[in-house]
Every structure is written in structure tokens, then in C-alpha cells.
């Protein structure tokens, strides 16, 4: 009679299944912010929302204005940031439920303030635009001025987002590795900021002055996915590295 296989014989298979499940879960979590952006874009395109739509008077500062017409895809960057913060606060981690709720909600509120107060663009776009404008006025090349402005906007956006990601659901002990991860995340957001700022130059059209056309919505979706992929990939790698 053959001896029954020992319990240890099944351990490699169980470990392999657990690893595959964790990897698929990490990919799903990383895709949620991108999917949230695309759902928001589909709603905007499907409803024909634009500056010609009837909006409450209290919402007008967030729909009209210079930055709304110049950098309209920033609205979807805010959706990405909020979804990333919510996903991070909900994933497994060292934080208690009250801490997740407190800093998750506070981070969402401050990110919206940074992006929308006093009008659309908030401090994020104003800081980037002022930096790029001053660089151009001091006779720097246009590409350099644009890159500096995108970098400052990414630093403000990423600074708020990263601070509350750590506060909501990360170990609070300082680690040297976290500096490197933060630098890579900043570079990814810098790339994303540069991408979404090119929408008008690449043929996005005059939205939000009028409704998005189907071809413009497709271009916007491509730009948003390309802008978000590096940061989403880093988030996936970070989740895998923290896995037990």
C-alpha cells in the first residue's frame, strides 16, 4: 500500500495558489483608480456635459474659468487621486478602521481643496502654471518651462496624496526605502501631469466649452490611461513588496 502524502507535500501548491491570488488582487486594486477615471469620462461624454450645461451657481467656479478650458483633463486626475486614496485606505494594512476613515476622508477633502479652491485647478495648477510662466518669462525654452510647471503641479498633487496615503494605512516608522518609493511616485506623476497637459495640442478639442465628441472622448481615454499607467504600476509593485 502506498503511504499517504504528507501535509508538507501540499504546501508548495498552496503557496503558489496564494501568490497567484495576491497578484491578481494587486492588479485589480491598481486598476480601480484608472477604471474610476474612465467611468467619469464615459459619464461626461455620455451625458454631453459641458459649460453649456445647466449647473448650480455654487458649482460654477469649478466648471468655468481659465484652467478649466486650458487643462480640462485635470478633473479626471482628481478622480484618480480620490480613487487611489480610497483603495489604499481599504486594502490590508497596519492601520485601524478609525485611522483609515479619519485620514482617508481628510485626505480626500484636502486633495479636493488643493485641486478646486478657489476655482478649478486650485493650488495644484496655479503653482505649476506660475512656475512654468516664470521660467518662460526668463527666456527658458518652452519645453523646459512646460516640464518645470508639470513637475511642480505633480509635486503638490503627489505631496498631498502621498502624505495621506501614509497617514491612512501605512506603517508610520520612517524608512529609507520610502524615500526612493516616493521619488519614483513623483516621477510617475510628473510624467502623468505632462501627458494630460498635452490634450489640447494633440487634438482633444474645445471641451468643456462644448460636449465631447466620440473621437475626442477616445483620445482623452488614451491620454488618461497612458498618464496613469506608470503610477498604477508602481502601486502594484509596492503592494506585492509588502505582501507577507
Digit-coded pLDDT (tens) for 215-229 = 999 999 999 999 999
The pLDDT-based confidence of 9 (bands split at 50, 70, 90) is very low
Cβ neighbors of 136 (< 8 A, separation 6 or more) are 142, 145
Do 222 and 8 form a contact (C-beta atoms < 8 A)? no
Write down the pTM of the prediction. 0.87
For residue 10, what is its C-alpha cell?
A: 501540499
Contact 227, 51 (CB under 8 A): no
Mean of the per-residue pLDDT values for the chain?
Answer: 86
pLDDT at 20 over 60: no
Query: Tell me, what's the pLDDT at 1?
Result: 47
Q: How far apart, in Å, are the Cα atoms of 195 and each of 52, 71, 133, 134, 183?
A: 26, 11, 18, 21, 19
User: What cell does 78 get?
Assistant: 482628481
Residue 59's pLDDT band, with cuts at 50, 70 and 90, is: confident
Overall average pLDDT of the 183-193 stretch: 96
Asked whether the beta carbons of 67 and 125 are under 8 A apart, the reply is yes
4 pLDDT band, cuts 50/70/90, is low
Q: CA 104, 181, 133: angle at the middle one, nearest 5?
A: 80
pLDDT at 3: 52
Amino acid at each position: 500500500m502506498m503511504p499517504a502524502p504528507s501535509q508538507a507535500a501540499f504546501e508548495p501548491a498552496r503557496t503558489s495558489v496564494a501568490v497567484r491570488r495576491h497578484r491578481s488582487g494587486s492588479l485589480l486594486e491598481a486598476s480601480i483608480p484608472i477604471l474610476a477615471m474612465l467611468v467619469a469620462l464615459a459619464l461626461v461624454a455620455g451625458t454631453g456635459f459641458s459649460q453649456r450645461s445647466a449647473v448650480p451657481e455654487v458649482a460654477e467656479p469649478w466648471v468655468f474659468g481659465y484652467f478649466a478650458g486650458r487643462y480640462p483633463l485635470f478633473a479626471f486626475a482628481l478622480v484618480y487621486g480620490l480613487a487611489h486614496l480610497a483603495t489604499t485606505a481599504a486594502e490590508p494594512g497596519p492601520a485601524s478602521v478609525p485611522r483609515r476613515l479619519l485620514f482617508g476622508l481628510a485626505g480626500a477633502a484636502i486633495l479636493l481643496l488643493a485641486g478646486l479652491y478657489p476655482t478649478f485647478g486650485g493650488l495644484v495648477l496655479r503653482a505649476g502654471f506660475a512656475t512654468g510662466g516664470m521660467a518662460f518669462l526668463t527666456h527658458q525654452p518652452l519645453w523646459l518651462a512646460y516640464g518645470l510647471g508639470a513637475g511642480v503641479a505633480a509635486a503638490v498633487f503627489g505631496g498631498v496624496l502621498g502624505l495621506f496615503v501614509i497617514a491612512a494605512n501605512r506603517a508610520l516608522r520612517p524608512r529609507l526605502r520610502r524615500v526612493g518609493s516616493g521619488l519614483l511616485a513623483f516621477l510617475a506623476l510628473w510624467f502623468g501631469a505632462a501627458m494630460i497637459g498635452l490634450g489640447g495640442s494633440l487634438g482633444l478639442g474645445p471641451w468643456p466649452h462644448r460636449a465631447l465628441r466620440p473621437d475626442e472622448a477616445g483620445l482623452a481615454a488614451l491620454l488618461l490611461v497612458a498618464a496613469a499607467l506608470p503610477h498604477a504600476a508602481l502601486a502594484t509593485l509596492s503592494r506585492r513588496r509588502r505582501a507577507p
